[in-house]
Each structure stands twice: as C-alpha cells, then as structure tokens.
Structure 1
C-alpha cells in the first residue's frame, strides 16, 4: 500500500539552508573543549587516576559530537560550500580516526536504500530468517553473540582504531599482487595501464583511496606525536577508552534508529523511499544535554527525509512537520535495550524479528505440518 503522504507535504526547503556562522561556532565549541580536556586529563592523571573517569566521560561525549558534525559534513549540510565541508570533514575524520570521505559515501548508500532490506542490512549486516535457518546451531549462536549489545565495545574499537588501517593495508597488498600479476602477463605494461585496470574491493574511487591514505598518515602521525608528548601508557589508555566508548555510543544510536519493533523493512519490490524515512527511521527522544552532544541526530526521520538539513535546523523542522509524523516510531533511552532483539529480517512479512519470535514461528509451522 502506497503512502498517503507525499514528500511535497513536508516543509523542508526552509530548513535546508546552511549557516556558516552557526557551523563555525559548532566546530569551535566542540573541537576546542575536546582538545582542552586532553590537557586537563593529563594534568589530572599526575595528581590521581581517580580524577580521570568524569573527564573521560566528557571526552567521550565530545568525541561523539565530533563524529556527528563529521556526519553533517559528509552530507554537505554543515557549511554552505562543498569544499569547506570536505576540508572540515577530513579534519574531523582525523580526530575520529576514520576516513571521512569513504565513510560518507557508504553512508549515502544507506540513505539511498533506507528501508530496502534487499539492498541494505544495517550496520550489523543482519541476515534474513531464511539465511538464519540455514545456519547450523553453532553458527546461529555465534551470529547472536556478535550482535549482542556488549559487542558494541570491541566492535567500536575495531571500527575506529583497527578497520581503517587494516583496509589500507589490505588494499595495498591486493594492489601489489595486481601489479605482479599484470607484469607477469605483460612485461611491457605501463604503470598507468596497471592502475587503470585495478578494481579494489577496499575502495571504489581514486578520491576514496587518497582520503583513506592521507587520513591514515595523519592519524598514525598524531598517535606517534601524542604518545611521545603525553606518554605511551597514558595516551593509549585514555585514547582507547574514549574512542571505544564513543564508537559504541554512535553505533548504538544508529542501530536503534533503524532496528526497532515495527520498523519499515521492505523488499525491493514495492519499496517506498518516503515510508523508509518516516517508518524506517525512529525519533529518538533524548535529554537536552544528549541532544546537544549528538547534534540532534535523534530527529532521524527528518534527517532521512532530507539529509541536506543541517543538524542545527533538524529540531525546528521536526516541530514544523510533527503533524505528518504520526507513523514515526518514538523511542526513549529505556527502549534502546529492546531494539537489540530485532536482528533478523523476515522477507515474507517485510518485518524485523527477534530470534525468539523466529523460533516460535518455526515451531508453529512444524505443528501445522504435523497436524
């Protein structure tokens, strides 16, 4: 059934205008405190390690806000100029230890196919009920374990600290093998021809590769510099905790904004972009202080209606269109744990299911067959 509401019914264009002054102020009130907190943490550690926990909590929240602003740059919405968004996004990518441009292109794919579960299975790479049923019992348990909420922490560490470095190394390794294979087949093949013939599974364009390369150079260089400046033990202890917790938080937020009971999870056939935005993205109602640190990404339904709306206009846009969002799911902090139950996609019913409901359905089908 097609959605009775059209995108033209929403007031969006009014809120799509970027404000460079507001954007600059957001960068300053986020990056400067984050840097200062590192200095405060270093001085506090010299007095007592017990002074560190509240400082680390603040550092984690500011790190998460850096990621949210980087996310806006990826949509070219934070600043009015595309080049400024790319430059600031790259710098925030260094702070977040993740190459911003390749990340933003992958994120754009998510926006393009949100709610189409044939095309995009979410950040946890969820599988269908048919695929889950085909797994042996041990593989099913491993699948469930890897999607347990506590896995957000090792997953967050891997996502920011290890994955971007591993991606570059694997890509360079594959490219080296490609060079030798080309030269073995054709000794006179030029370097430009070898490069042109290489299709990497680790990046899709030259721009992605260069962003990945320069990000890694800057990130690793900053690690070396700060380790020498602050001490290896102090830097990596604090840095690992901050980055791990920060990544865990924003992966968690992203997950629950798309994986919840009743979420729009359709097949390609009959998929509707507008329904994917309204019913496949939740409104995460957070305390005001967390709205600030997350740059209002809780208004995720509006964000999916138009990714060009900068974070500082999202809440006003949400209020202006609230009468059209009756079918959007509203979640609170209390609802977050329940969302992690929905880790399989049932293509037959176009819905997300828990493992418990999957087993109940399978048992019912067996009973019906037997009778």
Structure 2
C-alpha cells in the first residue's frame, strides 16, 4: 500500500511554533488545581472519607494532564527553549513518579517506527500470530489475561510507582557487578574505564542514568515528606489510587490510538512513515472536557505527522488539514472497549487481529486446507503437462 498524499501536502509549519506564555499558563492551570485538590482531600478526610471519591477523580484527571504536558516537554514542543522543556518535564515527571528523559527517548523511538510492527510492538509488547501459535495453551491464556483491560490498573501502578525504582536498583547492582569483574581482571583499571565499558540494560546514556537517579531521589523524598506532613496512611492511600487510575487512563488512551480495527500494521519492508501516522494513529473524538485533561492528544494522527506541534495547536492544525485525513480512523469513547481485543499482529496480512479471529482463521484453514494440484494420481510429469492457470 502506498500513500498518494505526501507530507508536504499538509500545512504543519505554522502550527509548530511554541508559545511560551500559553505554555506557562497551561502549567499554572494544571499544577495550582492539582496542589489545591491535595489540600482539599486532606481537609475532606478529616470530615468524612465519603467526600474523597470526587476529589480523587479530579486528582486523577489532573495527574493525567500533568503526564500529557510532560509528553509535550519530551518532544521539546511545549516551550520554545529546550532547557525549559527539560526542567519542566522533569518536574512533571516527579509528580507522576516517572523519569521523564528516559521515557521521552523511548517514546521518540515509537514515533520513528509507528506502524512498523516488526520493530515496535506497542506499550503492551504484543506478539505476532506465528509467535502466539507456538505458545502452550497455558502461555496463551496468560498472554491474553495480562492484556485484559482490567490489567491496566495493576500494570499502571507498576509502570509508574515500581518500575523506575527497580530499574535504578537493578542497574546499580549490574554496574557494581561489572566493576568487580573489571577489577578482578585488571586491578589497576580506573573508574572512568569501568564506566565507559559498562553497557546497562536499564539505561542507554549517562543522561538517562542521571535523570533516573534524580527522579528517584525526588520521588522517594516527596513520599517521605508528604507522608510525614499528611499522615502516611492517608497520603499513600490517596496517592496510590490516583497514580494507579491516572496511569490506567493514559495507557488506555495511548493503546487505543494505535490498536484498532484497520490500523496500519506493516512489516519493516515496504513500511511507510506517512501511512503509519495517518492510518496507524486514530483521531480519538472526545468531549471537550476530556480533550482539555488529555491536552488534545486525541488528535493523534496530526501529532504523529509532526511531534513538534504543541498540544495547544493540534486542534487548529487538524481543522486546517481535515481534507487530507479522509483515511484517518475516528474513534469515540464507546469504541474504546472494542480496541482492546486487537492484541495480535498478523505479519502475513499486515493487520492487527483478535485472538478469537486468529483461532477462527486457524480452524478454518485446518478444516479447508488449500487445494493441492499434485496428487498421488497425478505425478510431477503429468502435472507439468497441465495447462498453466
């Protein structure tokens, strides 16, 4: 499949300019309510715990907005200054307990390979139908179970609260073991050489390590500080629920923007970046209030056409280029549950499919095998004389 539309056909450049004043306003209209809601939750808990649910819902939504703005900082689009994006992005990452710089570098890889399912298998680490067929029945059950929508909640909590801490511990242990091995082989080796020869599986550059380290220091320090100020029971209860639901929310949004019926899911050979952006990303049509909390990330195909477009310009850019987005998938909230069944990639047909559809296809093939022109009654020399079809 080749696109008849070129990227140059889209009007993108006017919308790629960052507005520092508007970006600053977005930071304030997100962080001020978020901090106030924590104060309100603390006061409400002293009166009745039944007052907390609506406050926690709002905390979750503002936490999700913090993540969306952090995402813009990772693309260096929220502010015009790269340094300001790094500083603000780091701060927003601390709020959601995730190291922003390593996350943004991994996310950049997603942008470079979107729609190429040989190189990038999405946030749920999907496998191909061929790989799934080789699994034992129990392994197939576990694969499907771990990608059930309800697993967004424990998975989301692990993704934010636990995984970055484990990454630092595992990486540090790996580095110490590497250092001891180097010293055993060469007692005179210097620290600089030990560091330069170490290749970690938990970070790829020194910048990622320092961001991971300082994020952990800030996050764990804030847990201790606010636990002491607000009460450890209250703080960790509200914080855990907020973080879990927030992570589930933005992982859900990210998942459905790429996993849907008809999504562009190609092999590396013949993969097209533009088709990956337009047909491999959906336009998630949300109510205005949810567009605000998600920072307009629903205009996802436009975002993939140019990640340098800040969130506050996405809607206008989408409107300006609507005539070129006829092939874009439009999803609504009611379509979201259906997207979660597309958890297998079929390399033969270059499409995503459900496990049920794959099993039905496999059963159909076993019941109706492809006809063979070479039968026992027709040896090869007879077949050679047949008229070519």
SS of equivalent residue, structure 1 residue 35:
helix
Deviations 1:69-111 (A, max 9, x none): 0000000000001000000000101111000000000000000
The structure-2 alpha-carbon separation of the partners of 1:71 and 1:370, relative to structure 1 and needing over 3 Å to count, comes to: closer
Q: What CA distance in whole angstroms lies between the structure 2 residues aligned with 1:84 and 1:76?
A: 9
Match of 1:353 in 2: 353
Deviations 1:149-185 (A, max 9, x none): 0000000100000000000000001001001110111
Q: What CA distance in whole angstroms lies between the structure 2 residues aligned with 1:155 and 1:321?
A: 36
SS of equivalent residue, structure 1 residue 330:
strand
Matching of residues 169-184 of structure 1 within 5 Å: 169-184=169-184
Q: What CA distance in whole angstroms lies between the structure 2 residues aligned with 1:357 and 1:328?
A: 23
Match of 1:310 in 2: 310
Cα distance, 1:366 vs structure 2: 0.4
Q: What CA distance in whole angstroms lies between the structure 1 residues aligned with 2:78 and 2:145?
A: 37
Q: What CA distance in whole angstroms lies between the structure 2 residues aligned with 1:191 and 1:77?
A: 38
Matching of residues 1-371 of structure 1 within 5 Å: 1-369=1-369
SS of equivalent residue, structure 1 residue 342:
coil
Q: What CA distance in whole angstroms lies between the structure 2 residues aligned with 1:337 and 1:2?
A: 30
SS of equivalent residue, structure 2 residue 353:
strand
Cα distance, 1:215 vs structure 2: 0.4
Cα distance, 1:203 vs structure 2: 0.3
Q: Which runs of 5 or more structure 1 residues have no equivalent in the other structure? A: none
Q: What CA distance in whole angstroms lies between the structure 2 residues aligned with 1:321 and 1:108?
A: 24
Q: What CA distance in whole angstroms lies between the structure 1 residues aligned with 2:224 and 2:275?
A: 47
Q: CA RMSD in A?
A: 0.7
Cα distance, 1:114 vs structure 2: 0.2
Cα distance, 1:349 vs structure 2: 0.2
SS of equivalent residue, structure 1 residue 283:
strand
SS of equivalent residue, structure 1 residue 363:
helix
Q: What CA distance in whole angstroms lies between the structure 1 residues aligned with 2:58 and 2:198?
A: 44
Q: What CA distance in whole angstroms lies between the structure 2 residues aligned with 1:109 and 1:93?
A: 19
Q: What CA distance in whole angstroms lies between the structure 2 residues aligned with 1:151 and 1:107?
A: 22
Q: What CA distance in whole angstroms lies between the structure 1 residues aligned with 2:199 and 2:370?
A: 52
Aligned residues: 371
Cα distance, 1:369 vs structure 2: 2.7
Cα distance, 1:370 vs structure 2: 8.7
Deviations 1:274-330 (A, max 9, x none): 000000000000010000000000000000000000000000000000010010000
Deviations 1:231-289 (A, max 9, x none): 00000000000000000000000000000000000000000000000000000000100
Q: Which runs of 5 or more structure 2 residues have no equivalent in the other structure? A: 372-389
Runs of 4+ deviating beyond 6 Å: none
TM-score relative to the length of structure 1: 0.99
Cα distance, 1:367 vs structure 2: 1.1
TM-score relative to the length of structure 2: 0.95
Q: What CA distance in whole angstroms lies between the structure 2 residues aligned with 1:228 and 1:2?
A: 59
Q: What CA distance in whole angstroms lies between the structure 2 residues aligned with 1:191 and 1:350?
A: 49
Q: What CA distance in whole angstroms lies between the structure 1 residues aligned with 2:326 and 2:185?
A: 62
Q: What CA distance in whole angstroms lies between the structure 2 residues aligned with 1:140 and 1:370?
A: 26
Q: What CA distance in whole angstroms lies between the structure 1 residues aligned with 2:52 and 2:131?
A: 45
Q: What CA distance in whole angstroms lies between the structure 2 residues aligned with 1:192 and 1:307?
A: 37
Q: What CA distance in whole angstroms lies between the structure 2 residues aligned with 1:369 and 1:38?
A: 63
